[in-house]
Structure 1
């Protein structure tokens, strides 16, 4: 599920796009397609590595060890370490995306007078919703 966090960001950044009627749907569909394809290939690789008859039992027995054990077995120590780093950084990226989207929602809602208007202010140098970011 974490792999799909951030897909809605294309709509959240609509105000910053040059041509949002074209770029937002295109970015959304491309993102869903790329993430979906990555998820499908990754799932297929995990099932292929364990076997379709055993994957449910192996995953249920030790769900937290499935990816690390398979990466060590098929990619060696360096591959295992690389997968661990990529996994941790992807969790960080998902959290950062969630925070950024919440900040943009706060900015959007406050600019429409649904929240305190002080949250609608943007940073004078960066144009970012810094107050919404601080609140979220």
Structure 2
């Protein structure tokens, strides 16, 4: 990417996408990708859960976009519901679908909330991000 608002999409392989300045949208695709938004408020799209991606510079103002096709039952389009997000080691309630482990930096998908026996780690966004809450996620 460059100084403008760029849209970058990876291919099937493992990619390194770098947005640079501007409000960029980065979608790594099906590979194990490294995503760097750069300056300004960026959007990181997760549309495939086959291999986890790493967001190298998650910061306040950035957004994680979750596609309904990759996250069935996540909820309606728009901002992720408050009940669907949890900070901790595991989902503790049935409605908690996205769990941020601040000690490991991983985001995990719990399809059936606390009833999920095999959560999917889909992104490493950084440890101890004290600004993260449900408003940093959108469903698309």
TM range (shorter): under 0.3
Q: Choose 1 or 2 for highest CA Rg.
A: 1
How does the TM-score come out when normalised to structure 1?
A: 0.18
RCO (CA 8 Å, sep 6+): is it higher in 1 or 2? 1
